[in-house]
Amino acid sequence: MTLFIRPLREKDLDDLHAMARSAGKGLTTLPADRALLADKIRRTREAFDQQSAPEAGLYLFALEDSRRGRCVGVSGIEARVGRDDVFWNYRLSTTVNASRKLGVHVRTPTLHLTNDMTDATEIGSLYLDERYRQDGNGLLLSLSRFLYLQEFPGHFSDKVFAEMRGVSDKAGYSPFWEALGRRFFDMEFSEADYLSGLGRKSFIAELMPKFPIYLFMLSEAAQAAVAQVHDNTAPALRMLEAEGFNFNGLVDIFDGGPLVEAFIHNIRTARDSLTRPVSISAEAMDSTVPPAKRLMVANGAFRDFRVTTLPAHCVGPESVTVPVELAEILLVKSGDRVRLAPLKRGG
Amino acid sequence: MWILRPAKPLDLADIESLASRLNVQAPRLPETTDRFLFVLEDTGHGRIRGLAGIDASAGHGQPFYNYRRDALIHACHDLGVSRRIDVLYPSHALTGQSLLCSLLIEPELRQSHALALLSRARLLFIAQHREQFADEVVVELKGLQTETGEVPFWDSLGRHFFHMDFEAADRYSSELSKTFIAELMPPNPIYVTLLTDSAQAAIGVSHPLAVKSRDLLHREGFRESRYIDIFDGGPVLRAQIDRLETVVSGLTLVFRPGESAHGLLYLVASARDDDFRCVLSPLIEGLDGAAVIPAEMASALGICAGDRVQVAAL
Q: How many CB atoms lie within 10 A of CB B263?
A: 17
Residue A313's beta-bridge partner residues?
none
Mean pLDDT over A90-113 rounds to 92
Name which residue leads in pLDDT, A25 or A91: A91
Kindly list the residues of chain A whose beta carbon comes within 8 Å of any beta carbon in chain B.
95, 97-99, 101-102, 104, 106, 108, 110, 180, 183-185, 195, 200, 203-204, 206-209, 211-214, 216-218
What chain A residue is nearest to B79 in terms of C-alpha separation? A203
The residue among A123, A119, A223 whose CA lies nearest residue A163 is A123
Q: How many CB atoms lie within 10 A of CB B6?
A: 16
Is residue B192 less than 8 Å (CB to CB) from chain A? no
pLDDT of residue A101: 85
Whether the predicted pLDDT of A182 surpasses 60: yes
Mean pLDDT over B76-99 rounds to 89
pLDDT of residue B260: 60
Pair A292, A326: CB distance under 8 Å: no
Whether the predicted pLDDT of A215 surpasses 50: yes
Whether the predicted pLDDT of B89 surpasses 70: yes
pLDDT of residue B183: 81
- Whether residues B160 and A214 touch (CB distance < 8 A) is answered with yes
The residue among A296, A338, A332, A331 whose CA lies nearest residue A139 is A296
- Which chain A residues touch B160 with a CB distance below 8 Å? 106, 108, 214, 216
Whether the predicted pLDDT of A202 surpasses 70: no
What residues of A are annotated to the active site? 230
C-alpha separations of B255 from A291, B271, B274, B304, B313 in Å = 108, 11, 18, 7, 16
pTM summary value? 0.89
At the top level of CATH, the class of B2-65+92-245 is alpha beta
Q: For residue range A143-171, what is the model confidence (pLDDT) as tens digits? A: 999 999 999 999 999 999 999 999 998 88
**Residue A97, min C-alpha distance to chain B (Å):** 6
Q: For chain B, which residues make up each domain, given as ranges?
A: 2-65+92-245, 250-313
Interface confidence (ipTM) of the complex:
0.86
Alpha-carbon distance of B216 to B75, in angstroms, equals 42
At the top level of CATH, the class of B250-313 is mainly beta
C-alpha separations of B218 from B120, B141, B206, B266 in Å = 12, 12, 13, 19
Is residue B187 less than 8 Å (CB to CB) from chain A? no
- Which chain B residues touch A219 with a CB distance below 8 Å? none
Alpha-carbon distance of A245 to A268, in angstroms, equals 9
Q: For residue range B14-25, what is the model confidence (pLDDT) as tens digits? A: 999 999 988 888
Whether the predicted pLDDT of B287 surpasses 90: no
Whether the predicted pLDDT of B251 surpasses 90: no
pLDDT of residue B192: 97
- Whether residues A211 and B161 touch (CB distance < 8 A) is answered with no
Band (A347; pLDDT cuts 50, 70, 90): very low
Nearest to B163 among A106, A206, A213 (CB): A106
Amino acid at residue number B73: I
Ramachandran region, residue B301 (left: φ > 0; alpha: ψ -120 to 50; beta: rest): alpha
Whether the predicted pLDDT of B167 surpasses 90: no
Whether the predicted pLDDT of A17 surpasses 90: yes
Identify the helix (H) or strand (E) that includes residue A147. Answer: helix A137-151
Whether the predicted pLDDT of A128 surpasses 80: yes
Is residue B45 less than 8 Å (CB to CB) from chain A? no
